[in-house]
Amino acid sequence: MDWLIAGLGNPGPDYAKTRHNAGFCFVQELARRHNVPWRLEKPWKTELARIPGPGHDLLLLQPQDFMNRSGGPVQAAAAFYRVPPARVLVVHDELDLPAGVARFKWAGGHGGHNGLRDLDRALGTRDYWRLRIGIGHPGHKDRVVGYVLARPSSAEEAEIHAAIERSMSVLDDFLAGRQEAAMKTLHSE
């Protein structure tokens, strides 16, 4: 397996269209474009989809535990498929970016994101790639939980999907080892 792409979110229909599930939206769209099915791996508490292809073989994940317990499913799949953390791309919602903006990031802190905090613990490192999908900020920290667990407005949803589309357009470059070129293109939009 060349890359593991883990979309973060919360499982179940109550959370399906919330801001917090931007990571799920990304990997679901990637699987749809490649017409690959998802399968549930109960022991790992995750759904997997595999995209074989020339140049890179991808494993997509949607952890089926809550966001703050995302690390275990990602670590289990990475260990089984022998994917080192440096070849893991975690796609997640980002409060510190406005809706419509997406940014790649190598390593670093979790910035208060509970899914990343759990991944850091489970992987034993912060040295993995992130794709941050902007969802905007509600303006005050006391409103964050309700905000991320709510559906975005129609306009915000369109912006989030536009950011996902732009991210998809540079993904081949990113996966082929041209991360700087992918970042330059995505970050200049």
pLDDT per residue, tens digit, the chain (189 aa), is 699 999 999 999 999 999 999 999 999 999 999 999 999 999 899 999 999 877 678 999 999 989 899 999 999 999 999 999 999 999 999 999 999 999 999 998 877 788 889 999 999 999 999 999 999 999 888 999 899 999 999 999 999 999 999 999 999 999 999 999 999 999 997
- Whole-number Cα distances in Å, 24 to 54, 62, 70, 177: 24, 6, 12, 23
Distance, C-alpha 39 to centroid of its chain: 18
Q: How far apart are the first and last CA of the chain?
A: 31
Residue 60 has what pLDDT? 97
State the pLDDT at residue 84: 96
Q: How many CB atoms lie within 10 A of CB 69?
A: 15
List the domain boundaries for the chain: 3-187
Catalytic residues: 20
Gap between the Cα atoms of 4 and 77, Å rounded: 8
* Paired tokens of 14: 């109550």
The Cα 13–Cα 155 span in angstroms is 21
pTM, whole model, 2 decimals?
A: 0.95
pLDDT at 1: 66
Answer for the pair 45, 53: CB distance below 8 angstroms, yes or no.
no
Q: 3-187: what CATH class?
A: alpha beta
Residues 160/173/37/120 CA torsion (nearest 10 deg):
-70
